[in-house]
């Protein structure tokens, strides 16, 4: 049996440990080395990397992608895409989704991991279709969660539908790191029985389960696991590449990773890790194990949000009540997976329900939009009373929400004449308007400075 590895140091590990602050020039030199490691793929792009490039690093995310591709031509580059939400949390019209996928593939992405927070396949179909059309690999991801409506049978049926849609592989995406070894074993087995596709496992070390979960997933037939070079592994990041290579090889699995290269990659990133530790950007706490998510069935990130929300309202004493209310709100909403933006929606509503002394006295506007069907279909049934309170006489949307949106790309492009240099710029603007605007202005100012400098030089020479 062969096991392959997706290295996440450039995307998820970077995002989970150091808030995606790794600038291109810091890892540029190691790319030609990484290109020889024998990874199944290198995950290097996604919503947070894109946002951070524009917002904090003054980098064009598209240029970063093109440079990574040029430096590692033999390795498949992978990105994370939120289906119809692209890099954010709102739905975009189909023309924008298609353009984004097309230019991502042209720019160097080989594998698009596409997911939807609610596992509503209607939110994935256009992105998947365009991926396949452009000759890239659509790895369709299941947002993993547990609830009475999330059964092995349903997950297997979902994987079957994903195969029909054109998936090149099925990824089990456990963004909260709560999937247990047993759950992974059972789920990978069920999906392997249902479809004829490679299965990829993505999890996080947060609760300490990830190494065992990865091992049991492999035992059940998982073909690819997501790991991070060891100095950027553990805690809220992925399990370590080197550790799993060592253990799986010894168990007799075929592992085609060049260990010398793999160790060189880690030696390169170690001083970078130490630098971020020294600067405080990397908090040792996020590298540790935190089992609270297992006790409360709430992802770690959501729990810290709840605590800070309550502290801000001087109500930290009500935490226990909020922790009891949170699963009730989730049940009322039809058991959505607790991932962004659902985790925030459920958390804020639970806090309001407790602090107002009456359930659903105030209903957040996002919860109302969710009840209207603007995020897609709820996995289970939404509580009828809540529906009545949230919608009043309004009718919920029953169609695919993106069908209600007008095309946007050409209109936006026309409005950016003289500002956007190319279609990639237009997409950066559509994804993050204010941040992109600032980035474009800074880029223009820098270019003008260069021109001025050159002219002055010429004049001096005369």
* Chain contacts with Co ion (rule: CB under 5 A): 12, 175
> What residue is closest to Co ion based on CB?
12
Positive or negative CA dihedral for 78, 170, 303, 209?
negative
Q: Is 175 or 302 the residue whose CB approaches Co ion more closely? A: 175
Exposed/middle/buried for residue 312 (C-beta within 10 Å: 0-12, 13-18, 19+):
exposed
Q: What is the DSSP string of 83-146?
A: GGGTTSSS---HHHHHHHHHHHHHHT--EEEE--TT--GGGTHHHHHHHHHTT-EEEEEEE---
Burial annotation 320-355 (CB, 10 A radius, 16+ → b, else e): ebbbebbbebbbbbbbbbbbbbbbbbbbbbbbbbbb
Q: How far does CA 175 lie from the centroid of its chain?
A: 8
CB of 175 to Co ion, least distance (A): 5
Q: Is 12 or 223 the residue whose CB approaches Co ion more closely? A: 12
CB of 202 to Co ion, least distance (A): 6
Q: Is 46 or 61 the residue whose CB approaches Co ion more closely? A: 46
* Residue 172, token pair as written in the block: 């089990």
Q: Is 16 or 352 the residue whose CB approaches Co ion more closely? A: 16
Residue 81 to residue 141: CA distance in whole angstroms: 10
Residue 40 to residue 427: CA distance in whole angstroms: 28
Q: What is the DSSP string of 274-300?
A: HHHHHHTSS-GGGGS--THHHHHSS-H
Residue 324 to residue 221: CA distance in whole angstroms: 37
Q: Is 143 or 309 the residue whose CB approaches Co ion more closely? A: 143
Q: Is 234 or 373 the residue whose CB approaches Co ion more closely? A: 234
Residue 141 to residue 128: CA distance in whole angstroms: 11
Q: Is 222 or 371 the residue whose CB approaches Co ion more closely? A: 222
Q: Find residue 169's DSSP bridge partners.
A: 139
- Helix-then-strand count for the chain, H and E: 21, 8
CB of 210 to Co ion, least distance (A): 11
CB of 176 to Co ion, least distance (A): 9
Nearest residue to 177 via CA among 117, 239, 89, 114? 239
CB of 22 to Co ion, least distance (A): 16
Q: Is 47 or 336 the residue whose CB approaches Co ion more closely? A: 47
CB of 199 to Co ion, least distance (A): 16
Q: Is 12 or 125 the residue whose CB approaches Co ion more closely? A: 12
CB of 340 to Co ion, least distance (A): 11
Q: Is 229 or 353 the residue whose CB approaches Co ion more closely? A: 229
Pure H helices in 19-92 = 24-27, 31-34, 47-55, 61-71
Angle at 154 between CA 118 and CA 405, to 5 degrees: 30
Q: Is 71 or 118 the residue whose CB approaches Co ion more closely? A: 118
Angle at 335 between CA 332 and CA 337, to 5 degrees: 140
CB 207 within 8 A of CB 289: yes
> From residue 115, how far is each of 103, 306, 412 by CA, in Å?
19, 25, 26
CB of 204 to Co ion, least distance (A): 6
């Amino acid at each position: 049996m062969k096991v392959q590895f997706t290295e996440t140091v450039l995307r998820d590990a970077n995002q989970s440990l150091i808030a995606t602050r790794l600038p291109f020039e810091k890892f540029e030199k190691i790319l030609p080395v990484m290109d020889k490691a024998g990874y199944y793929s290198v995950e290097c792009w996604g919503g947070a990397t894109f946002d951070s490039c524009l917002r904090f690093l003054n980098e064009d995310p598209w240029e970063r992608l093109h440079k990574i591709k040029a430096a590692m031509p033999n390795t498949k580059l992978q990105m994370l895409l939120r289906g119809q939400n692209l890099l954010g949390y709102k739905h975009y019209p189909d023309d924008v989704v298609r353009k984004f996928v097309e230019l991502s593939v042209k720019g160097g992405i080989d594998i698009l991991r596409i997911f939807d927070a609610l596992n509503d396949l209607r939110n994935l179909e256009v992105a998947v279709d365009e991926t396949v059309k452009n000759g890239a690999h659509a790895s369709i991801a299941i947002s993993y969660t547990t609830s009475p409506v999330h059964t092995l049978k349903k997950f297997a049926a979902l994987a079957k539908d994903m195969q029909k849609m054109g998936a090149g592989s099925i990824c089990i995406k456990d963004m909260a790191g709560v999937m247990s070894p047993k759950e992974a074993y059972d789920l990978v087995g069920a999906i392997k029985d249902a479809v004829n596709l490679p299965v990829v496992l993505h999890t996080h070390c947060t609760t300490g389960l990830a190494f065992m979960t990865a091992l049991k997933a492999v035992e059940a037939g998982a073909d690819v696991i997501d790991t991070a070079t060891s100095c950027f592994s553990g805690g809220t990041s992925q399990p370590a590449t080197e550790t799993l290579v060592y253990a799986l090889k010894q168990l007799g699995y075929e592992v085609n990773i060049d260990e010398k290269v793999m160790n060189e990659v880690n030696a390169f990133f170690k001083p970078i890790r130490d630098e971020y530790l020294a600067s405080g950007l990397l908090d040792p706490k996020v590298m540790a194990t935190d089992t609270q998510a297992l006790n409360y069935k709430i992802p770690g990130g959501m729990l810290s949000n709840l605590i800070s929300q309550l502290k801000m309202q001087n109500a930290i004493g009500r935490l226990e009540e909020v922790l009891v209310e949170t699963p009730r709100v989730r049940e009322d909403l039809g058991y959505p997976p607790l991932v962004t933006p659902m985790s925030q929606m459920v958390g804020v509503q639970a806090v309001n329900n407790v602090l107002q002394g009456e359930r659903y006295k105030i209903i957040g506007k996002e919860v109302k939009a969710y009840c209207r069907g603007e995020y897609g279909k709820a996995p289970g049934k939404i509580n009828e009373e809540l529906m009545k309170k949230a919608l009043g006489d309004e009718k919920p949307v029953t169609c695919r929400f993106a069908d209600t949106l007008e095309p946007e790309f050409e209109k936006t492009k026309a409005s950016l004449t003289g500002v956007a240099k190319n279609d990639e710029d237009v997409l950066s603007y559509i994804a993050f308007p204010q941040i992109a605007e600032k980035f474009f202005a800074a880029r223009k100012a820098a270019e003008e400075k260069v021109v001025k400098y050159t002219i002055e030089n010429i004049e001096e020479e005369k």
